[in-house]
Amino acid sequence: MGILDDLKKEAGRLQDEQDTEQGNEARQDQLYHEKAKPLMKRIAAYLCEMTEQLKVVKLPIPVAYDVPGIGLIKDLHQDNYRVYLDSREMPRKIAFQFACTSGSVNKYTVTPMAAADEARQFMNKQQIHYSEWGVRDNQDKLIGASYECQMQIQVKLVFTLDMENERLVVTSINRHGLTIKHTNFGFNSINDEWMDELGHYILRKSEHLGVLDIPETTRQELQKKLKEEQLRREVELGGHTEASLKEKEKEKEKEKTGTLDKVFKTLNKPLFTKK
């Protein structure tokens, strides 16, 4: 009976794990339909509407990027907005993409050869069509390359769901230079104000998307550190706060002014009086 008991125990454990997993899936499915799905549809509708409006209203949005091997390019403008959804009815991932493009075809001469290779790799990654020819020195040695192209930087905002933590994850690709940045927002923080901030962020009227969603534990730690810093500051000031020190400085200034007034009054008195 020993081996049979062991099998029954293992079967019970596996059944409990399966029941727990199914329960978690059921809760996440309910959460998706009640909160996440409406949220994603709302974001998708907002981005689609913005895309349609920007096709009509051609807003001039100049931007600059530091391109590998080439350096800072300032003549770029943001345009060509597109929205992609993994599903129209059950969206779990949304991608909003646009391009920052130069107004014309430009020539970039890049030296040394290592920088020219870096520039070429970047343009291939960005799928930029370019012409290339070598740059040689007086001894006919290859020292770099010249590229002729219309420079273009692809920017993407990707919205995904973190169902376990009930968060929306926004991944900004090339929005802040040639970097990738992840920002998390609680489902309940996605409201009208957040949507408007998203629009400002896309149009570069703001460099930050929404209010930072700081966990309560982190918030408490920051408040604790601020209090400790304030106490340390007061100790350094000899038990006086900055406000009290400023007040004392004001009193000293008044005393100086009063003393000067007395001196001036004394000087203004006649040195001799007529009898």
pLDDT digits (tens, 9 = 90+) for 216-268: 565 567 667 777 777 776 676 665 555 555 666 666 666 655 654 554 455 45
Same domain (yes/no): 234, 203: no
Residue 204 lies in a domain: yes
Residue 229 lies in a domain: yes
Residue 266 lies in a domain: no
Cα separation, 198 vs 94, whole angstroms:
14
Same domain (yes/no): 207, 227: no
pLDDT confidence of residue 274: 46
Residue 115 lies in a domain: no
Residue 25 lies in a domain: yes
* C-alpha distances in Å from residue 45, one per residue of 2, 17, 146, 183: 62, 39, 44, 21
Same domain (yes/no): 223, 208: no
Domain membership of residue 228 as a residue range: 218-257
How many structural domains compose the chain? 2
Same domain (yes/no): 186, 241: no
Residue 122 lies in a domain: no
Structural contact between residues 77 and 101, judged by C-beta atoms closer than 8 angstroms: yes
Same domain (yes/no): 166, 226: no
Same domain (yes/no): 159, 87: yes
| Among candidate residues 83, 44, 81, the one with its CA nearest the CA of residue 61 | 81
Which ranges of 181-270 does DSSP label H, i.e. alpha helix?
Answer: 192-202, 216-236, 242-268
Same domain (yes/no): 224, 88: no
Same domain (yes/no): 85, 177: yes
Same domain (yes/no): 87, 164: yes
Residue 73 lies in a domain: no
Average pLDDT of span 115-132: 95
Average pLDDT of span 135-163: 95
Same domain (yes/no): 208, 222: no
Average pLDDT of span 177-191: 93
Same domain (yes/no): 53, 29: yes
Same domain (yes/no): 54, 181: yes
